[in-house]
Amino acid sequence: MLAQAARQHGYGVAVFTGGGSGSPAGVLADREFSGDFADPDEVAAFLATVDAVTWEFENVDPALADAAEAAGVPVRPSGSIIAVAQDREHEKRALTDLGVAVAPWRSAATRVELEAAVDTLGAPVIAKTARFGYDGKGQVRIDDAAAVGEAWQTLGGSRLVVESVISFERELSVVIARGIDGAMVDHGAMENTHVNHIIDTTVVPAMVDEATAEAARSTARVVAEGLGLVGVMCVELFDTTDGIVVNEIAPRPHNSGHCTIEAASAGQFEQQLRAVTGMPLGDGSCRPAAMAQLLGDLWDSGEPDWSAVMGQPGVHLHLYGKGEARPGRKMGHLTCVSDDPAHALQRVLEARDALTGR
């Protein structure tokens, strides 16, 4: 989707996959580099081709950013932000240093430390691997101290972040862009639902009062500015009775921002393009809209009949071009823009239901 935005605005694209060819972005690119991220020759060849680098996901060795800097190629967002986002312990410390609220937490590198964390925080807690977890992977809920041993084994004896389970009204997110000049534009507070730890739907604007929406946006601005962001970042939040709590950050476009492609004059991928290339940011304000995720489960009985949604006015289909559909894998999404977020959500859910025959 970034490659599509780049093409629309006349930019060339090179994609570095870290292994494998024919990626969804690679088929739109001028050149696809399919070597290993650790291959110095492949890294050098990629950097010799591009004028700026950005990221599609954060689980990449930040040493790539160091190599780019040495080659005089700007990296946006910076490697330091990537390093923060890919390690939950570093992320918690950075957010705490910025003065934003996070769930009470402790780190644990041994089973004894995990036991101590559960004792200090009090069950229930969520134990998460410090690195390489996403969509609920690499985490276990611990409801009592007797479950610590099993949780430690399940998570592979990895370094952990242990968080208190907090009560919240809803899950929110703010996708924010920050330019080289420090200007910031966001798409408003978005309201998300998750199923099996995977984002299922998003509505924008979130169906919250103005004060809550502004608190979410203000928190995102604090994080973006405090980390020195240049690019796009999603700040995932909990709306609690005590105020806004930051769950985690993603220094890139995010699934919850997909509805901005149709809802905003300049959606999240265009904002990423603008920020990374040093152009002024666009208008990110959104019309009421909703997004519904399309997971690989829909392919259980073969390719869905897309005519079931293509014939519905105002519903937009996005397929990502991934070659293999697997349960839980994000294969695409639907969006709908309306005069009311609740109506947009109803429309997009009805469209997705039409694909399943329910």
In the chain, list all ranges with CATH 3.30.1490.20.
104-164
Whether the Cβ atoms of residue 127 and residue 139 lie closer than 8 Å to each other: yes
Q: Using CA atoms, how far apart are residues 130 and 306, in angstroms rounded to an integer?
A: 39
- Cis peptide leading into residue 77 (ω within 30°): yes
Q: Quick: pLDDT tens for 309-338.
A: 998 999 999 999 998 999 999 999 999 999
In the chain, list all ranges with CATH 3.30.470.20.
170-356
Buried/exposed 139-178: b ≥16 CB within 10 Å, e otherwise? bbebeeeebbeebbeebeebbbbbbbbbebeebbbbbbbb
Among candidate residues 95, 136, 267, 272, the one with its CA nearest the CA of residue 190: 267
Question: How far is C-alpha 298 from the geometric centre of its chain's CA atoms?
Answer: 22
Rounded to a whole number of angstroms, the CA Rg of the chain reads 21
Among candidate residues 163, 166, 107, the one with its CA nearest the CA of residue 140: 163
**Residue 136: band (very low, low, confident or very high) from pLDDT cuts 50, 70, 90:** low
Residue 191 phi, psi dihedral angles, 5° rounding: -110, 130
Q: Which amino acid is at 217?
A: R
- Cis peptide leading into residue 40 (ω within 30°): no
Q: Quick: pLDDT tens for 74-126.
A: 999 999 999 999 999 999 999 999 999 999 999 999 999 999 999 999 999 99
Predicted confidence at residue 62, as pLDDT, reads 87
Residue 244: beta bridge partners?
239
Q: Quick: pLDDT tens for 155-185.
A: 888 899 999 999 999 999 999 999 999 999 9
Q: Quick: pLDDT tens for 256-279.
A: 999 999 999 999 999 999 999 999
**Residue 197: band (very low, low, confident or very high) from pLDDT cuts 50, 70, 90:** confident
The fold for domain 104-164 equals: Dna Ligase; domain 1 (3.30.1490)
Specify the pTM.
0.94
State yes or no: pLDDT of 61 exceeds 90: no
Q: Which CATH number describes the domain made up of 170-356?
A: 3.30.470.20
Provide the token pair at 65. 């950013």
State yes or no: pLDDT of 357 exceeds 70: no
